[in-house]
Structure 1
Amino acid sequence: MDAAELTGTYTYRSFLELPDPVQDFNRLRFAQLELRLTAAPDGTVSGLLVFPAPPGTEAQAMVMTGQVSGSSPVAFTLTGKGRPGTPISDFHYDYDGIILHHWDTGVNQRTTLAGTVLRAEPHGTGENLAPAGQTAGFLAVKRNA
């Protein structure tokens, strides 16, 4: 596995870190988004984390920047920040992850990223304030090209 494998479009899902079993799996849901990444030969990573939008409206996105390090497993760090002048301009999240092992005998296995995410800065106001420090685990499954 090499860093170029990071390039692609993924279905990104992050999960709250609740230690007890839950009856409704949706209670674990932190986010489900589209992650688009490009890894350059020098190890830099760029892309977008795109939020779902109703038809006819513009999707909001965080600009993703980062670095690939290591080769077995491929490890990466990312920072996602909301675009200036958008409703999510105050979003700032940090990501630390790896590309999961690809089994030689696996059937229909997809490239999958796994890691943790940290809300690096608070966003929102009043009752909608999301404080800094929130963490979640994430998986991102690569889509077909």
Structure 2
Amino acid sequence: MKPRHKGSCLCGKVHYEITGECQSLYLCHCHRCQKGSGSVHGANLFAQDASLTWIQGAASVTTYHHPGTLHVRSFCRHCGSALPSVDDRSGWVTVPAGSLDTPVPISVTAKIFTASRGEWVKSADEAPSFDALPQSEGQ
């Protein structure tokens, strides 16, 4: 039996299921992934020969193809959460790791396009860490 992974968007209007093995998990620092995520990188699982089933809210999914590139990004039109997409040419399913409701099934394969990583991120390992939102002084 093939593994199944479930996920959803932030507002809960879209739910999906991926059936199949994930071969890789890349943290991509390219400018397109930075813009698409609004953060330091995209974190995407890639699954070949897997299937994507929209359990709920398929009509709320919008897909953007960046002109002249292989970059595709699907998202919920209500809350903007990143959602899976399927490359019709190759059959690969791309799954934003943060959209999964079940545990991410594999470890990070690699960090890619690190030359595009923002300067502000390079000092992140030296910054303090907190398990929750820190309380500011005087609160």
Same fold (TM > 0.5): no
Higher relative contact order (CA 8 A, sep 6+): 2
Shorter-normalised TM range:
under 0.3
**Normalization by structure 2: what TM-score?**
0.27
Decide which structure has greater strand share.
1
Relative to total residues, which structure has the larger helix share, 1 or 2? 2
